Chains A and B, each alone.
Chain A
């Protein structure tokens, strides 16, 4: 639930409770006031009746009016003030009345006088007040909701903006979040903290990338020294086989290290945006050229190659295009079974490559991670697909993997 809705709900609940309590208090207060007023009127009526009885001196009529009834009684009794219901002939229903009953002696005869006063008018009054009260309450509640909406739009907008910026934030973009001043202290403090945090993240990330790139660069020359020295050693005449074997092991290790290094360097350089597309790359001849490079491997594994290549030009850096396709093709051939199939489909929308194979043991998501290998014993270094993913991200392509009918299918949507 939104913070504001929650706050509004609390406001509404509390307001309703206060209104209910206030309503009850007001209801009883008005009732009390009305009753007092009616009682006063009854007493003043009583004075008038007593006056009339004295003036006439004669036996009083038994009915002075509809609401003042005089009837003879045997003995005097105490004055009674009570609420009662009287059946109204006109309305044909019981209506609330206030009655004052007292006895009075006229010319030695005892009479009982009953004065009734309708409470209907006072009920109307209570009703009118209640209505007014209710309307006020309703207006207040509606205005609370409207006000909160307004507050949400005006006060919280800087917060929402900040949140949107933060959601969009990717450390790879190397752009720290810079919140605008909101003139609200809490938000400005939050904004400043976010700004600092993201700036630090971007700096750390850039430093780390730079470090990877520099480290890889620095390694190239020592690797070249090792390689050249072993190559010179190998040329030494009369070297025993055992020594040759050791030199070969060194050469192999250097090769592997150089390969890892080259891949890491490439990843760092892609991340550092050192490749910007200049001219669109013709993908068809590139794919054909790369496939040709693997003809030995394809023949060796008896792989059946099916291609459907359209003439497509894609705006991407030439090196990246070659890396992308080469890694995918290499992957499809290398991880193929004997007498398997490789299908390559190139269209305006996508580059799709499928190869036969059994289900991978690892999560498909890990395939695109660095050093995420399906088979730990495998000779590959596990950077090929990480490079594919990185190239796709930088070029705005979407790469996906699925396993369908014993085929590994990689799709790059342009």
Chain B
């Protein structure tokens, strides 16, 4: 995928680009409204990660331009404001998702993948990892063709991990994914352990390879390589 990161804070843009490039995407950065506009006008991007507060303009206006030129481009808004009105305005104008700073890079990656799955109408609605087949929209997981009975949290966990394979996912990132940012993280760390343990057991029971590895007690990694 070709992704444009519109973010005036260069260091953050670099981080995002670095993470997404490791996923095999082609990433470009634009640090201002003007630069971003030039880029979206001259070339096509599959996805635009857009900071709404830019030094020379409101990122929301860029959505109109993008949507007019390339309706199929997916847009994820980054905002420091965490304001519902901004969110609604952005989504109303055609943005696909909304993330509040500070966000987790695996979360951004998972969101991009999720949107891409939904927007991609060539029948690629599922995540396929060797013997595991996940249908994120339907909540169905098949291992070697057998359906797996997972709880809602276990399923979310599997989707999140499978969107960030071979990456260390910290407990913070997982907890925020599963319970939202309002949940007190200290409480949820123990539950992550429980959910991961159960998910692992269920996968192995159906004959799956043990993909999930613990990383020094700080997080987990879904290793496919």
Contact surface of A with B, Cβ cutoff 8 Å: 217-218, 220-221, 223-229, 231-232, 234-235, 241, 244-245, 247-248, 251-252, 254-255, 258-259, 262, 265-266, 269, 274-275, 293, 296-297, 300, 317-319, 323, 326, 330, 334, 379-380
- Given contact pairs A220-B80, A248-B170, A227 touches B191 in the complex (Cβ within 8 A): no
Some 6 contacts from A to B, beta carbons below 8 A apart, are A228-B12, A231-B105, A235-B22, A244-B216, A244-B218, A379-B184
Interface contact A318-B84, CB-CB below 8 Å: yes
A224 to B106, CA, bound (A): 13
A251 — which chain B residues lie within 8 A by C-beta?
170, 172
With a 10 A CB-CB cut-off, give which of A225, A245, A269, A296 has the most chain B CB atoms.
Answer: A296
Would you give the shortest CB distance from A218 to chain B, in whole angstroms?
Answer: 8
Would you give the shortest CB distance from B8 to chain A, in whole angstroms?
Answer: 8
Interface contact A379-B83, CB-CB below 8 Å: no
Closest to B9 in A: A221
A380 — which chain B residues lie within 8 A by C-beta?
184
A330 to B188, CA, bound (A): 12
Interface contact A232-B170, CB-CB below 8 Å: no
Which of A221, A235, A296, A300 sits near B101, CB closer than 8 Å? Answer: A221
Interface contact A319-B84, CB-CB below 8 Å: yes
Which of B12, B188, B194, B218 sits near A248, CB closer than 8 Å? Answer: B218
Contact surface of B with A, Cβ cutoff 8 Å: 9, 11-12, 15-16, 18-19, 22, 80-85, 100-106, 153, 167-168, 170, 172-173, 179-188, 190-191, 194-195, 215-216, 218-219
Interface contact B168-A235, CB-CB below 8 Å: yes
Interface contact A229-B80, CB-CB below 8 Å: no
Given contacts A228-B12, A232-B18, A245-B218, 20 further A-B pairs with CB under 8 A are A217-B81, A220-B80, A220-B100, A220-B102, A228-B16, A228-B102, A228-B105, A231-B19, A231-B105, A231-B170, A232-B105, A247-B218, A259-B181, A269-B83, A274-B83, A293-B183, A297-B187, A300-B190, A326-B182, A380-B184
Closest to A229 in B: B15
Would you give the shortest CB distance from A55 to chain B, in whole angstroms?
Answer: 126
Interface contact A234-B168, CB-CB below 8 Å: yes
Interface contact B102-A235, CB-CB below 8 Å: no
Interface contact A241-B216, CB-CB below 8 Å: yes
Would you give the shortest CB distance from B100 to chain A, in whole angstroms?
Answer: 8
Q: Which 8 A-B pairs have the closest CB atoms?
A: A228-B15, A220-B80, A224-B102, A223-B102, A224-B101, A220-B101, A296-B191, A248-B218
A258 to B153, CA, bound (A): 24
Would you give the shortest CB distance from B90 to chain A, in whole angstroms?
Answer: 15
Which of B100, B105, B172 sits near A255, CB closer than 8 Å? Answer: B172
Which of A225, A241, A317, A319 sits near B12, CB closer than 8 Å? Answer: A225
B215 — which chain A residues lie within 8 A by C-beta?
244
B19 — which chain A residues lie within 8 A by C-beta?
228, 231-232, 235
A326 to B22, CA, bound (A): 37
A228 to B179, CA, bound (A): 20
Interface of A is mostly: helix
Closest to B79 in A: A220
With a 10 A CB-CB cut-off, give which of A231, A235, A319, A334 has the most chain B CB atoms.
Answer: A231
A252 to B172, CA, bound (A): 8
B103 — which chain A residues lie within 8 A by C-beta?
224, 227
A300 — which chain B residues lie within 8 A by C-beta?
190-191
A232 to B194, CA, bound (A): 26
A150 to B153, CA, bound (A): 76
Interface contact A254-B106, CB-CB below 8 Å: no
A248 — which chain B residues lie within 8 A by C-beta?
170, 218-219
A224 to B16, CA, bound (A): 10
Interface contact B102-A258, CB-CB below 8 Å: yes
A254 to B181, CA, bound (A): 13
Which of B11, B81, B106, B182 sits near A231, CB closer than 8 Å? Answer: B106
Interface contact B82-A262, CB-CB below 8 Å: yes
Interface contact A262-B181, CB-CB below 8 Å: yes
Would you give the shortest CB distance from A15 to chain B, in whole angstroms?
Answer: 69
Closest to A269 in B: B83
B168 — which chain A residues lie within 8 A by C-beta?
234-235
- Given contact pairs A228-B15, A231-B105, A221 touches B80 in the complex (Cβ within 8 A): yes
A293 to B182, CA, bound (A): 10
Interface contact B216-A232, CB-CB below 8 Å: no
B183 — which chain A residues lie within 8 A by C-beta?
293, 330
Interface contact B187-A232, CB-CB below 8 Å: no
B172 — which chain A residues lie within 8 A by C-beta?
251-252, 255
A265 to B84, CA, bound (A): 13
With a 10 A CB-CB cut-off, give which of A234, A266, A293, A318 has the most chain B CB atoms.
Answer: A234
With a 10 A CB-CB cut-off, give which of A241, A248, A319, A379 has the most chain B CB atoms.
Answer: A248
Would you give the shortest CB distance from B186 to chain A, in whole angstroms?
Answer: 5
A262 to B184, CA, bound (A): 13
- Given contact pairs A224-B102, A293-B180, A300-B190, A255 touches B185 in the complex (Cβ within 8 A): yes
A323 — which chain B residues lie within 8 A by C-beta?
182
Closest to B10 in A: A225
- Given contact pairs A232-B18, A265-B82, A379-B186, A227 touches B218 in the complex (Cβ within 8 A): no
- Given contact pairs A223-B102, A225-B9, A258-B102, A245 touches B15 in the complex (Cβ within 8 A): no
A63 to B102, CA, bound (A): 130
